[in-house]
Amino acid sequence: MSLLDKATPRVMLPVLNDREREWDSDSAVQRVRNFTNSNDSPTSSYKNAFLYFDREDAENFRGYKLPIADIVDNKMVAIPRAIFAVAGVLRGARGGVNIPEEDKRNVTTKINRYYDIMSDLFDEDMESPLKYKPEYEMEEEEKSFESKIFTCTAELKAYQDEDDEKEMGRFEGYASIFGNKDLGNDIVMEGAFRKSLMRRRPKNVKMLMQHDTKMPIGVYEKIREDENGLKVQGRLALGTQKGKEAYELLKMGALDGLSIGYKADPKKQVYDERKRRRYLKEVDLMEISLVTFPMNPKAQITQVKASDRTIRDWEKFLRDVGDLSRSQSKIASKAVYNSLVDHWDGAKQDNSELVTSMRDVINIISTNKTRS
């Protein structure tokens, strides 16, 4: 049984797509009791509505604390305002909560995962107030760490809509893939970055070129673990020469790798003598670099590739010929461009049918425009 299972349910509830929904814990808990047939005593599904339950008192309702769920459309879902409230309680609001410190760490991990889910759901960076430790608290832990570089399988996409100022210089992808061996026979295991991400903000993980500490080229805006690996979203400093160069090289595919720089406590790694592999169970992430030659042969960058027409070309065409508004043409141009890129990425595909279809669409729009 893992620590996370000790007093915190394994289940991650779907989060309600309504961050403004009011939260009343008493009425919500009553609805959960009815929904889970727990009017007399807690059932096995009742615990999923809470972030903590006392295993020694699991047969009594008083053993369940930190509720986050309600019943909406006949489903048990996590309520954003309930998650916010629990995060506040763990920081000491309303007198805090009296649970063991070990369990409090597990609850904190769960809360941070919900914040990551809400960031994607609401398309904004919703930073957990529990996620980061002050830098001074990290110093003692890092004294025995060794510094290493691990270059990993990377999937990276650069945004190229230069008319949208907010997207200029941005990219996203994976800086590490779990269970993947590099040429140094190191393998990063799932959960290796969890503690590091709890104490270090994304912008404090440096974005470098080729691991050169004298060449910062931007900042990371989001870094999180998912089931595949370490997913990052960054923004290059286009006001600097190096940042601008990196962005152009990235879009062209000349930069095709990501590499992490980290510190690792030797006591928390496992070495397999027979396979001659080291398994990295816990690392402290220091920097992520854009690199030209990744150590891992599989490390490649997937980016938005250029086509005969850019997004800006399609936007202008749809606005001028299709008679769409500026906002409509921006949305439509991205959809058309991305569809073409996805289709052309299959190198062995026959694209003649797609070309013919697009010509027909263009002719129809042009004809209708002329008639009007």
DSSP 14: P
What are the residues facing 177 on neighbouring strands? 229
Residue for token pair 């008083």: 62
Q: Is the domain of 223 the same as that of 117?
A: no
Same domain, 161 and 45: no
Answer whether residue 300 is part of any domain: no
| Domain identity same for 248 and 333 | no
245 catalytic? Reply is no
| Helices of type H across 40-100 | 80-90
- Domain of 349 in residue numbering reads as 311-371
Answer yes or no: do 225 and 91 share one domain. Answer: no
In a domain, 305, yes or no: no
Cα–Cα distance, 222 to 314 (Å, whole number): 30
In this structure, the answer to whether residues 103 and 246 fall within a common structural domain is no
- Inside any domain, residue 135: no
pLDDT, tens digit, 9 for 90 and up, residues 228-241? 888 888 899 999 99
Alpha-carbon gap, residue 246 to 240, rounded angstroms: 10
- Please identify which of the residues 128, 287, 289, 315 carries the catalytic annotation: 287
Q: What is the pTM of this model?
A: 0.52
211 tagged catalytic: yes
Residues 239 and 335 placed together within one structural domain of the fold = no
Q: Are residues 205 and 65 in the same domain?
A: no
What is the number of domains present in the chain?
Answer: 3
Instruction: Please tell me the distance from the alpha carbon of residue 144 to that of residue 268, in angstroms, as a whole number.
Output: 11
Catalytic residue, chosen from 38, 176, 196, 259, is 259
The residues, any chain, with a CB within 8 Å of residue 171's CB and separated by 6 or more, are 156, 157, 158, 159, 233, 234, 235, 236, 247, 250, 303
From 211, 245, 282, 307, active-site residue: 211
Q: What is the DSSP letter of 326?
A: H
* 3-state class (DSSP) for residue 247: helix
Whether residues 152 and 269 fall in one domain: yes
Report yes or no on 298 lying in a domain.
Answer: no
Q: For residues 56 and 169, state if they share a domain.
A: no
Q: What is the arithmetic mean of pLDDT over 142-166?
A: 54
pLDDT beyond 60 at 216: yes
C-alpha–C-alpha distance, residues 130 and 103, integer Å: 14
What digits encode the pLDDT tens for the residues 245-270?
988 888 877 776 788 888 877 777 88
Active site residue 167: no
Q: Identify whether 271 is part of a domain.
A: yes
CA 232 to chain centre: 6
